[in-house]
Structure 1
């Protein structure tokens, strides 16, 4: 108990920086299927996925997540350790970062000492193992051993124990008696020293007892065990190795827990007593066909980390039946494309590189968030469609979904079940042609969109007729050639949007953006890509049409806007414009030279813009004001590389896919309604416990062009706002953001109103429809 109190006192020291909790507006949607490491506390099992952790309460079976939302960095985890003495979880990362989780998983301390060490190469900073002894933790790394003091929460010495003090890979340490042993990789053997020696920083105090490459070393009671990279396990006695067993696969994890030695390989967990007698063995079974990564035990169960099923729980006494343990989430933490519809989100995992090269081909399936439930479809159930990317949901049948494959064509999914894979044999989709191999089939379908008539439009790379339309009702296909503007075939098409007049706008790799519009039996096609047309790059990566029919264009080298889309095909001198903003009195180009990955328009015509290396920007409708700029430094984004963005227009939830995971942000913005029939105000009544000035009263489901007046019961004006004038984030007491208005409870004198009944009077300025809502405020 004393240790615990001491740690709490240290919280008040000013030099300790604890991570911020972002759980108010953000939600993480991380995958917990692939487990890197697993540890046990008195009451919980902790399991680390790629860059997130979950805990499992052994008494209540409750699952809790620990992610970037709660303060983790989002970097790749390599190892975790739990200290029952100090009641804290230590998280080690592949880049050398260390984080300590306190207070029932509510506070996270970030320690950058190893990351910031200039004398250690970046590829040598990986944390391999934590070994607690008395009040310190010995940290095994790819450069040597560092010591961290748990009482003072600070680093001590670092031991470079290689020959002549060289940096070497230490896989693990163990202490027996007064000696500390280090197992080393790279043929650096096993080395030992007196743990009580005041000068362990001197490499000459470390003795090499045996040569070779050793992956682990562990103490159990008064015995010392080690594993060599040739799959053998030994007992060390008087500096002599005695072979005990040779495994069919390399031991991945060796640890001592509750008086037992646990050794994990890809398909077995072996549990031994101190005499190396085998007490239990858990093996991979057909119903859970996976690879094991790590394991721990309590008095009754074995908990096994796996590559595909999170944690598997089984009885020590009879390890034949397995229980799957993990939070719900998508298949992977590498979302490539996402598509939101009301209370739904579809996710694919791509992918292709910036040159639209899908190799090496991946086989990863797709995920669907339906309400609060994740429905995951693995590759084996996806009709063997590889490199899944763009997603389109039929607006007339939300249970019918089409997912592009950048190798196999187009996958149709009905009621969660993949039903048809369209390719060169059953559709107008075409394979690219390799002169050297006429039998080669490679159908690279990319962006897809439904038009207002219910036709699905797709674009295929590296063929002469890339644009295809498909009618799901009649099963009819049509193909359109781009040879009038593209003679050498395009490597890829990054995005597509369709305007209200049916114009298709298509982003291309080498030919800028393309406009395509049918006109009877013919069509118009035109591209903009040249520098004299003010295009910063011929590589267009993202497109969006806003509510003013302006085309926002993301490129490999910045942002442009086509303000006049109606005369695009007729104007011979048409060009695009950059957005010039004033920053500290200096005129600058917005998002100058940024690689833009996606552009999305929300209900208030504001823009969400994702980038490759600078996070995500939330801009006002004209781009002149940056409302938010989220990065890994000021938000729970696990990476500044944004791969895709999608908005649930009904509630304003913004889904953000990054290279290291998926998150959502409750922006509060929402789409507008055609009428005021569904308009409502909440919370109602406003109770004293509600923070009206911060959390604000919401007036939902309003129309696009509206005037709102709030009066007291006697008719005195309290607040007023109008669409396109009193916009959100401009400092008004009553603000309108798309289909939602926000009131901070203040009157025209900027004072919070008194208790009473207030009238919210809505008036549509286009249709003259009106509606009056009553709101009760109790203070």
Structure 2
């Protein structure tokens, strides 16, 4: 047989990842630690898709995330080469990334190889031999030259060149051993120049093995039931010792074998004597994932509590070590107030069914510090669908649950939980404190709190500022919304006129006028709404009173939100743009839209289920940005929610793999007049290379900037409460030092304002 046809040629494929630290911030969770590497002064801890580096002497952290160039994919293993300061990161999808000299290199050969199926590309373990890195994968063993940054050989070690899942590898007394999940333990002479020939590999043990590790003058193996084996001649024989379960991680150092399983960490010496056995930390049980020991200190990775440092001589001396971050990466809902971010963890399917229920509490970011509230601290409510902040009191937030009603949360403390006994909210089953599903709520301009319930007759619920509740029964006109097997409500908005509008999973858009108890509706028929379909996932009213309607198949805009309640409401319209070939097409056609946010300049930030996030001009005719996993630090193209902090200009993106923030232009809502217009920084000092922000504007205000002699250097019309000036004139050159006059007029020219900006070069 010509084995050469079985060789996988892993072509050199190294590219430098982009660094986004100038405009982006990574807000990742580091609670789930998958692997640990340790040096004398540092500990490298790999979380789901980011790294934190703990400096032991200073007890400080640095992080490596997608903002620094990591892919955002799920990490499976890391390796640190101390002599060259190289950190190698292996991923479940086969990608390798090498971090060296603050540069991240992408090695995509395994990930992109078509002859390896996606379920066979996982990186399981690294072992170094001089400058070569041996990589255990789900298809076999690959060799990577760390000095030349290129692949060497690839070994398919199964019978007839079959791919085997290699969980662990070790080099011992001239042999390369491979512990496999498919076919026991195999080995080959490491000096054999033809290890690419599967016939040079022999199986020496049957079974399923998690680990193979050399220790002193012996080599050990651990099977998937926790049985410990030692090499005797040409095969591994049971030692009689058994760990509590299979191994998740095993390392050998200083003649000691450290083994971590889900509920234990044990350290054995070469004589198989237990030096340390850990099943809990000060009486608290954890789910362990990995362990790394040096001297009398052991660093243990946990599934949900970060990293634990223990003294192996006295396990009561323990310290939780974890970089600051939210509870988890799968962020479902985001809400902001000035300089604050709230994160909710919940989920539901396409039909807004929250089962299986999730309980992860909430996270709060304030002044760049995270506070994570546990499940018990939020009354054990499940599946938090959204978070509503009281605009008059940002310390008062409302956690909407798809199972437990609404929890009022004030100053970090659960106060009142609203359900069937103390509000008009109803459950979808016979009277129950559970099954009270609330997907969305909001405040109106009068301070009333509105909430929509799902699959009940009293869909619309209102609590006035005095605390009294009122329910509106919509079942007479829209019986499809009531009952546990009926359609669900989705998103709620209230217009400036006080009209309540909400979306549904099958009945289109429904509007309610509380002043005269009238209703209106848009559906997917011409002259009855012209929606794409009757599934409405998102609603937003922009600064011009237009209703932006998102569905699982695209976008529609109704040019007057209140017109739904008119006798003959107009149809919603698609936004038609020209593609790169000049062919007209519908904006966001066939895209599943998960969120639409409006910034202070009336621009639209739109989150999608598979294409990342978009920023559009106020009309939607111009695409300003499309952020994806390939051109930004987004760790996933599934963007569940977007939130904008108008005080800082930060735009937060919550994805199923983590949160990132983009430092956009600082924008604000339009002012009623020009009384509070100001520019900052002012003066513009030498070395400043940012934008001057002119704030406190009315909508569509005209701004003209001239030099002291009256020559016009810049002109713009605001699309919100603020504009940006890059201190350049119309010819693109920076203006010189001097005083510049600022002339501002409202859209109707009734009000004007004159100010000055000083520029010092």
1:447 aligns with 2:445: no
What's the CA shift for 1:764?
4.5
Which residue, 330, 334, 346 being the options, matches 1:338?
334
Q: Map 1:116-515; keep pairs closer than 5 Å.
A: 116-186=112-182, 188-238=183-233, 239-285=235-281, 288-433=284-429, 441-471=434-464, 473-487=466-480, 489=482, 490-515=486-511
1:770 aligns with 2:744: no
Q: Distance in 1 between matches of 2:282 and 2:603?
A: 51
Q: Distance in 2 between matches of 1:567 and 1:356?
A: 28
Which residue, 665, 684, 687 being the options, matches 1:686?
684
C-alpha change, 1:401 and 1:592, in structure 2 (3 Å) is same
Whether contact under 8 Å (1:41, 1:83) holds in the other structure is no
Q: Distance in 1 between matches of 2:520 and 2:730?
A: 54
Which residue, 707, 719, 722 being the options, matches 1:740?
722
Whether contact under 8 Å (1:718, 1:746) holds in the other structure is no
What's 1:543 paired with?
A: 539
C-alpha change, 1:531 and 1:758, in structure 2 (3 Å) is closer
Q: Distance in 2 between matches of 1:475 and 1:284?
A: 49
Q: Distance in 2 between matches of 1:757 and 1:42?
A: 57
Q: Distance in 2 between matches of 1:764 and 1:577?
A: 30
C-alpha change, 1:658 and 1:531, in structure 2 (3 Å) is farther
C-alpha change, 1:72 and 1:56, in structure 2 (3 Å) is same
What's 1:9 paired with?
A: none
Whether contact under 8 Å (1:288, 1:309) holds in the other structure is no
Measured against aligned partners, the alpha-carbon deviations of 1:405-434 in whole angstroms (never above 9, x if no partner) come to 111111111111112222223322111137
Q: Distance in 2 between matches of 1:67 and 1:688?
A: 33
3-state SS of the aligned residue for 1:123?
A: helix
Which residue, 55, 58, 72 being the options, matches 1:57?
55
Whether contact under 8 Å (2:526, 2:571) holds in the other structure is no
What's 1:4 paired with?
A: none
Q: Map 1:705-744; keep pairs closer than 5 Å.
A: 705-712=700-707, 714-724=708-718, 738-744=720-726
Alignment RMSD (CA, Å): 2.2
Measured against aligned partners, the alpha-carbon deviations of 1:158-199 in whole angstroms (never above 9, x if no partner) come to 21112222111110000012101111113x111111011111
What's 1:6 paired with?
A: none
C-alpha change, 1:760 and 1:678, in structure 2 (3 Å) is same
What's 1:610 paired with?
A: 607
Which residue, 641, 644, 647 being the options, matches 1:644?
641
What's the CA shift for 1:246?
1.3
Q: Distance in 2 between matches of 1:674 and 1:770?
A: 14
What's the CA shift for 1:569?
1.8
3-state SS of the aligned residue for 2:83?
A: coil
What's 2:740 paired with?
A: 758
Q: Distance in 2 between matches of 1:412 and 1:475?
A: 15
Q: Distance in 1 between matches of 2:524 and 2:515?
A: 23
Whether contact under 8 Å (2:475, 2:481) holds in the other structure is no
Which residue, 22, 26, 29 being the options, matches 1:28?
26
Higher mean C-alpha displacement, 250-259 vs 414-423? 250-259
3-state SS of the aligned residue for 1:38?
A: strand
Q: Distance in 2 between matches of 1:258 and 1:626?
A: 59
What's the CA shift for 1:299?
3.1
Which residue, 604, 617, 622 being the options, matches 1:625?
622
C-alpha change, 1:444 and 1:73, in structure 2 (3 Å) is same
Q: Distance in 2 between matches of 1:299 and 1:229?
A: 28
Whether contact under 8 Å (1:90, 1:100) holds in the other structure is yes
Q: Distance in 2 between matches of 1:243 and 1:158?
A: 33
What's 1:730 paired with?
A: none
C-alpha change, 1:287 and 1:560, in structure 2 (3 Å) is farther
Q: Distance in 1 between matches of 2:12 and 2:190?
A: 32
Higher mean C-alpha displacement, 210-219 vs 571-580? 571-580
Q: Distance in 1 between matches of 2:107 and 2:292?
A: 27
3-state SS of the aligned residue for 1:324?
A: strand
What's the CA shift for 1:286?
5.5
Q: Distance in 2 between matches of 1:14 and 1:218?
A: 30
Which blocks of at least 5 consecutive residues in structure 1 are unaligned?
1-12, 725-736
Q: Distance in 1 between matches of 2:296 and 2:125?
A: 26
What's 1:10 paired with?
A: none
Whether contact under 8 Å (1:173, 1:180) holds in the other structure is yes
3-state SS of the aligned residue for 1:339?
A: strand
What's the CA shift for 1:678?
4.8
Whether contact under 8 Å (2:743, 2:752) holds in the other structure is no
3-state SS of the aligned residue for 1:173?
A: strand
1:101 aligns with 2:96: no
Whether contact under 8 Å (2:495, 2:541) holds in the other structure is yes
Q: Distance in 1 between matches of 2:69 and 2:610?
A: 21
Q: Distance in 2 between matches of 1:441 and 1:613?
A: 32
What's 2:64 paired with?
A: 66
Q: Distance in 2 between matches of 1:661 and 1:674?
A: 38
Whether contact under 8 Å (1:423, 1:430) holds in the other structure is yes
1:596 aligns with 2:624: no
What's the CA shift for 1:553?
0.6
C-alpha change, 1:479 and 1:243, in structure 2 (3 Å) is farther
What's the CA shift for 1:391?
0.9
C-alpha change, 1:576 and 1:442, in structure 2 (3 Å) is same
3-state SS of the aligned residue for 2:376?
A: helix
Q: Distance in 2 between matches of 1:89 and 1:51?
A: 14
Whether contact under 8 Å (1:669, 1:738) holds in the other structure is no
Whether contact under 8 Å (1:603, 1:652) holds in the other structure is no
What's the CA shift for 1:149?
1.4
What's 1:729 paired with?
A: none
What's 2:5 paired with?
A: none
Whether contact under 8 Å (2:510, 2:519) holds in the other structure is no
Whether contact under 8 Å (2:455, 2:489) holds in the other structure is no
C-alpha change, 1:155 and 1:469, in structure 2 (3 Å) is same
1:530 aligns with 2:512: no
Measured against aligned partners, the alpha-carbon deviations of 1:465-500 in whole angstroms (never above 9, x if no partner) come to 211112353243433324303336343222111100
Which blocks of at least 5 consecutive residues in structure 2 are unaligned?
1-10
